[in-house]
Amino acid sequence: MTNVQFKHSFLTALRSFENFKPLKQEPTMITPFSYQESCLGCIDQARQQGEKIALVVMATRLGKTITAAFDVKRFRPDRKIRVLYLCHKTDILYQAHSDFQLVLGNQRSYGFFHGKEKSFHEVDCLFSSFDTIRNYIDIFDPEEFDYVIVDESHHSKAETYLPVIQHFRPKFLLGLTATPDRMDLQDITEIFGKPVFELPLEEALAKGYLTPLDYRILTDEIQAEKVLKTPDKLWSVSALNHQIFVPKRDEEIARIITWETSRIKDAKTIIFCSSVKHCDELVKLIPDSLTIHSKIPDKERDIRLEMFRQNMLNTVITVDCFNEGIDIPRANVIVFLRSTSSRTIFLQQLGRGLTKTDGKDKVIVLDFVANIERIRMVQDMCRKIKEVLPQGRRWRSLTGPPPIILEIGKVTFHERKIGLTDLLERILRKEPYLTWQEASSAAIALGIKTQREYWETGKWKRDTRLIATPNKHYEDFPGWTQFLGQEHYLSLEEASQAAKKLGIQSAGEYKKNYDLDPKLPSNPNTFYPAFISWGVFLGTGRKLRMAKNCYTTWQEAGKAARTLGITSREEYGEKYKSDPKLPSRPEKVYRDFPGIDEFLGRAKKEFYSTWQEASQASIRLGISSTTEYKKRCSEDPKLPTNPHLFYADYPGSLKFFSKKERTKPYKTCAAAAKAAQSLGIKGQNDYNKRYKENLKLPSAPHQYYKDFPGYKKFLGKD
């Protein structure tokens, strides 16, 4: 069947599936796995010690939701309890419902609360999305649920999560995650405490809880010999990638994928691409495949996913729809065509095929990303797996297949390509640590205790793999305090006293000097929920009218403000004193403050639906920079305050504020060098600041031109 015929058949099936619904799991008797039983014991032990909150960190595909369902079943077995299950994705909610029904059976009542379905009637187990329940939070009593579960809890510091979590006061709160380290640096242990149970991916693979991996890194050509002849040359990672790895064309990639999967019995393949456009191009080249991404209508996307689950479809091509929560047990081939520096996203996508099922002896991974960072990431995973194995055991002594086999090209890493392994180790020994955790251990070992000490003493230079700015280098950097193994003051009062003791008089002064005390957080205004204002915190200004003198909730305050006829932020500043119970800054008093529009009962703003429309509106106003935009965006009510956050595909400020898109860079390195030299650019740092003066100069010529000779020669300084 050709791709065209296949898609025609699919569309015909789609029309006949008007009332299509995923297959329901029939309730059956199941028992926890040994590691799930251990987890349940840890949760129960925490409860016996008086804890009302627990965090479980369990690698993807190990059954976190099933484990939670078992704990619900054992929690207060003498009576029926009400359970709230929270997550950010509807797909995960439906899957969680199936898992709970599998464990709890049909003796409980179930309901959903999301955009398309809302169970306002009372049910035993309510599965809700954060976005929806936040909009209806007033109808739920804080003590309405006995047990609250927060799935994918590494998102808990997000604006849509935190107010909901803080609203409810259950008898027990359970956080579930496979990835506790958030990429936006906020620590969820502030909400849930330290994990009561941890089972990372490497340990799960080593102990045989997940399907073994056959990991194959594929490249067009490995040009190691040229580099081996100059072992003393200091190569940057990007330059080394250009020397060793040559990108494949899509046609060749499609041919290899088709060939590799044709040799696998009953191959079920997930391909991760770099963009929606890449998905749509690749699907034309791979027979019997379909895309699943955000541009496809929800109904059709659900059907395609269910077709894949039910063996009606063998290959799906996606971007990031399968990062979290989606369970596809039959998947046995994972293909990477996208690069990510985030270990979290990498492990989430890798985990899509790791569920153990009958007839699946291994998961084959075809990794076309082929760069040094990825090799180091996979090597690091291999090392951690080996560390978990009992002392002295090797792959060959295992009774079953090894947890992971790593290959590069077409031969194993440990045989003929050993030269490349040596090369990478030799060249990369001065490259930064792969993860912030490794860098953290190294910095702590050097006795560095504060951010200032790290920079001013230069101690970090004693370890060649530590860098000056780890906070910028690591995408998931946790903050300097955690990085250097320190702890913050637990209460706002302690932090306030410490800041006053340092003689700090303003917010700006705090930013410059807070690191003199390693226990002070960088942003106390967001770190401590009880934070009122900088003046109160530092003891330099008058206190806001609040606490017992203010309305208890923002809803009451909002109603009072509307009674005074207040319709805008400006009017509020003028009239709020007419009511002594109205605070001067309600957003500081009420932690769940919803925004001035909802507070004053105004309709929410309508913004431009695309960044292109917002860009044209900005250009019409004559706005040409981010700074100017911040000052003037209010001139057009349809312009969002932060377009880079509002639009998922925001292209960057240069393109957003420019009437003309950047032209293509110079074709040759020589032409670019001549243009850069004509600008009088002095060095690499100067180039980074000034290359925009010529729209044909690339931002990173050392990556763009394969024959790049180094910045000195490129800029005519050699």
pLDDT at 712: 86
pLDDT at 10: 53
Exposed/middle/buried for residue 510 (C-beta within 10 Å: 0-12, 13-18, 19+): buried
Exposed/middle/buried for residue 11 (C-beta within 10 Å: 0-12, 13-18, 19+): exposed
Task: Kindly indicate the confidence band of residue 652, based on its pLDDT and cuts at 50, 70 and 90.
Answer: low
- Mean pLDDT is highest, among 391-400, 601-610, 670-679, for 670-679
pLDDT at 73: 92
Task: Kindly indicate the confidence band of residue 548, based on its pLDDT and cuts at 50, 70 and 90.
Answer: very low
pLDDT at 149: 93
pLDDT at 154: 64
**Strand-pair category, 269-272 with 333-336:** parallel
Amino acid at 233: K
Between 146 and 421, name the one with better pLDDT: 146
Q: Which residues, 6+ apart, have CB-to-CB distance to 22 below 8 Å?
A: 94, 302, 306, 309
Domain boundaries, the chain: 34-199, 206-428, 436-483, 492-538, 547-599, 611-656, 669-714
Q: Which residues, 6+ apart, have CB-to-CB distance to 675 below 8 Å?
A: 666, 694, 696, 697
Helices 64-74 and 90-104: crossing angle in degrees, nearest 10, is: 50
DSSP string, 7-67: HHHHHHHHHH-TT--PPPPPP------HHHHHHHHHHHHHHHTT-SEEEEEE-TTS-HHHH
What is the dihedral angle through the alpha carbons of 378, 382, 388, 389, rounded to the nearest 10 degrees?
Answer: 160
DSSP 105: G
pLDDT of residue 401 exceeding 60: yes
- Domain 34-199 is classified in which CATH homologous superfamily? P-loop containing nucleotide triphosphate hydrolases (3.40.50.300)
Amino acid at 575: K
pLDDT at 47: 92
* Calpha distance 349→344 (Å, rounded): 9
DSSP string, 507-570: HHHHHHHGGGSTTS-S-HHHH-TT---HHHHHT-SPPPS-GGGS-SSHHHHHHHHHHTT--SHH
Task: Kindly indicate the confidence band of residue 340, based on its pLDDT and cuts at 50, 70 and 90.
Answer: low
Between 534 and 408, name the one with better pLDDT: 534
pLDDT in tens, 97-136: 988 999 998 888 999 998 778 887 789 999 998 888 888 8
pLDDT in tens, 439-470: 888 888 888 888 888 887 788 888 877 888 88
* Calpha distance 123→85 (Å, rounded): 12
Q: Is 5 helix (H, G, I), strand (E, B) or coil?
A: helix
pLDDT in tens, 6-56: 555 555 555 444 444 444 444 456 888 999 999 999 999 999 988 899 999
**Whether the Cβ atoms of residue 32 and residue 70 lie closer than 8 Å to each other:** yes
pLDDT in tens, 156-181: 555 557 788 888 999 999 998 887 55
Mean pLDDT over all residues of the chain? 77
pLDDT of residue 575 exceeding 60: yes
Whole-model pTM? 0.54
**Strand-pair category, 110-114 with 117-118:** antiparallel
* Calpha distance 410→580 (Å, rounded): 76
- Give the other-Cβ count within 10 Å of 99's Cβ: 21
Task: Kindly indicate the confidence band of residue 326, based on its pLDDT and cuts at 50, 70 and 90.
Answer: low
Between 576 and 352, name the one with better pLDDT: 576
pLDDT at 110: 94
Task: Kindly indicate the confidence band of residue 309, based on its pLDDT and cuts at 50, 70 and 90.
Answer: confident
| 34-199 and 206-428: identical CATH topology | yes
Segment 665-689 shows an average pLDDT of: 86
- SS (HEC) of 560-608: HHHHCCCCCHHHHHHHHHHCCCCCCCHHHHCCCCCCHHHHCCCCCCCCC
Q: Does domain 206-428 have CATH number 3.40.50.20?
A: no
Q: Lowest-confidence range among 175-189, 260-274, 643-657?
A: 175-189
Percent of the chain with pLDDT over 90: 10
pLDDT at 413: 33
pLDDT at 438: 79
pLDDT in tens, 208-232: 888 888 888 776 544 444 454 454 5
Between 376 and 28, name the one with better pLDDT: 376
Segment 564-580 shows an average pLDDT of: 86
Per-residue tokens: 331: 């998947």
Sheet holding 83-87, edge to edge: 117-118, 110-114, 125-129, 83-87, 147-150, 172-177, 53-58, 197-199
